[in-house]
């Protein structure tokens, strides 16, 4: 079975366990965001077209299924997490001046930056409003704290833009904030609201964090060596926006003085020719391989966290997801 077909098969089996709840979360998502303003509805309908893998809702619901079972609150929480994630995507597209996402024009591409900024805000505030419909303030607190960390991660990323001496450690701090934190929270909330004990909840949170780190490393690699057709994004966007990611950090650290100096030259003049030369240097070095190895290290950590869980179909699926995260082409 090819990798893609195996991925399809996994999606079908995930759907068997969490499909109904995912649909429920989708209904909550749409209902919470519905507006009497035709213009807001237009933007919402458009943005729905580039929503993607539903990774965070899936992690949340599988974590619930693997512990005490999925409840109504989980559908609400899954919708909240997806809303926050969508808000960060919409604002990221402003930051990146991106024209397309998943083959569809971004909100700023289709309307303008102002609409994107306000629509992202609209998603954020509705997410918190929806979280406050639950009985206790716990979800609001956890989600608020996680989102604070996401913003700090993104602010640090902007601050370090163009810094060719970015330490690998800082790169990991950035992706831990901007990506892994929300995956960790998804698993934590899934388990906690299923009634899991503190130790199991912590294990699932750590699982989500390691998975998120691996996911982001893979995402950064796809920006270098992916297929525009499969990813639905234009490649080299990190390079254009002067963001250093793991392969480039490794290349700068390990190459000889001449190559390192050439890399610095290329990086300081982002255009199609310098990007082609840099992408080739990255391919020819073992920097992509290094990044892949680091991602696999994190997926192995994620799997190890699952060991303490009782056997279940959901646990099995959480394990299998780790294999696709680091080695994906979409």
- Closer residue to a copy of itself (CB): 119 or 298: 119
Helix pair angle (113-131, 38-48), 10° resolution: 90
- Cβ burial of 186 (10 Å; 0-12, 13-18, 19+) is buried
- Half-sphere exposure at residue 212, Cβ-oriented, CA atoms within 13 angstroms: 28
Query: Is residue 40 near a copy of itself by the rule CB under 8 A?
Result: yes
Q: How far is the CB of 116 from a copy of itself (least distance, A)?
A: 9
Query: Is residue 156 near a copy of itself by the rule CB under 8 A?
Result: yes
Q: According to CB under 8 A, which one of 152, 320, 323, 327 is a site residue for a copy of itself?
A: 152
Q: According to CB under 8 A, which one of 3, 20, 30, 39 is a site residue for a copy of itself?
A: 39
- Closer residue to a copy of itself (CB): 62 or 174: 174
Q: Which stretch binds a copy of itself (CB under 8 A): 10-18, 151-159, 183-191, 277-285?
A: 151-159
Query: Is residue 158 near a copy of itself by the rule CB under 8 A?
Result: yes
Q: Determine the size of the site formed for a copy of itself (CB under 8 A).
A: 48
Q: Which stretch binds a copy of itself (CB under 8 A): 146-154, 184-192, 212-220, 299-307?
A: 146-154
Query: Is residue 154 near a copy of itself by the rule CB under 8 A?
Result: yes
Query: Is residue 144 near a copy of itself by the rule CB under 8 A?
Result: yes
Q: Name beta bridge partners: 105.
A: 100
- Closer residue to a copy of itself (CB): 114 or 230: 114
Residues of this chain, 84-143, that bind a copy of itself according to CB under 8 A = 87-88, 91, 94-95, 112-115, 117-122, 124-126, 128-137, 140-141, 143
Q: How far is the CB of 35 from a copy of itself (least distance, A)?
A: 6
**Of residues 257, 254, 326, the one with CA closest to residue 292:** 326
Q: According to CB under 8 A, which one of 4, 34, 35, 271 is a site residue for a copy of itself?
A: 35
Query: Is residue 43 near a copy of itself by the rule CB under 8 A?
Result: yes
**Of residues 268, 269, 263, the one with CA closest to residue 285:** 263
Q: According to CB under 8 A, which one of 159, 253, 264, 293 is a site residue for a copy of itself?
A: 159
Contact criterion met (CB below 8 Å) for 93 and 101:
yes
Q: How far apart are CA 159 and CA 170, in angstroms?
A: 11
Q: How far is the CB of 183 from a copy of itself (least distance, A)?
A: 17
Q: How far is the CB of 147 from a copy of itself (least distance, A)?
A: 4
Query: Is residue 150 near a copy of itself by the rule CB under 8 A?
Result: yes
- Closer residue to a copy of itself (CB): 122 or 267: 122
Q: How far is the CB of 205 from a copy of itself (least distance, A)?
A: 18
Q: Which residues bind a copy of itself (CB under 8 A)?
A: 35, 37, 39-40, 43, 87-88, 91, 94-95, 112-115, 117-122, 124-126, 128-137, 140-141, 143-145, 147-148, 150-152, 154-156, 158-159
């Amino acid at each position: 079975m090819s990798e893609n077909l195996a991925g399809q098969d996994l999606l079908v089996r995930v759907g068997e366990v969490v499909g109904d709840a995912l649909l429920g979360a989708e209904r909550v998502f749409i209902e919470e965001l519905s507006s009497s303003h035709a213009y807001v509805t237009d933007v919402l309908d458009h943005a729905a077209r580039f929503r993607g893998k539903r990774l965070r809702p899936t992690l949340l619901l599988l974590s619930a299924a693997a512990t005490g079972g999925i409840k109504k609150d989980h559908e609400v929480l899954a919708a909240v997490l997806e809303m926050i994630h969508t808000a960060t995507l919409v604002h990221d597209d402003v930051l990146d001046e991106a024209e397309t996402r998943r083959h569809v024009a971004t909100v700023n591409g289709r309307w303008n930056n102002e609409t994107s900024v306000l629509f992202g805000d609209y998603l954020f505030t509705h997410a918190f409003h929806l979280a406050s419909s639950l009985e206790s303030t716990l979800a609001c607190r956890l989600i608020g704290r996680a989102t604070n960390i996401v913003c700090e991660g993104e602010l640090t990323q902007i601050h370090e833009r163009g810094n060719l001496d970015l330490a690998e450690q800082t790169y990991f701090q950035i992706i831990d904030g901007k990506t892994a934190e929300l995956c960790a929270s998804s698993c934590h909330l899934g388990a906690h609201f299923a009634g899991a004990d503190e130790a199991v909840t912590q294990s699932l949170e750590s699982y989500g964090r390691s998975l998120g780190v691996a996911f982001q490393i893979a995402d950064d690699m796809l920006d270098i060596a992916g297929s525009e057709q499969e990813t639905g994004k234009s490649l080299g966007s990190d390079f254009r926006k002067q963001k250093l990611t793991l392969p480039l950090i490794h290349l700068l650290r390990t190459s000889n003085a001449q190559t390192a100096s050439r890399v610095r030259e290329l990086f300081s003049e982002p255009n199609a020719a310098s990007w082609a030369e840099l992408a080739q240097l990255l391919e020819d070095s073992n920097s992509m391989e290094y990044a892949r190895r680091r991602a696999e290290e994190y997926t192995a950590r994620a799997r190890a966290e699952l060991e303490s869980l009782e056997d279940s179909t959901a646990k099995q699926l959480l394990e299998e997801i780790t294999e696709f995260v680091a080695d994906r082409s979409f």
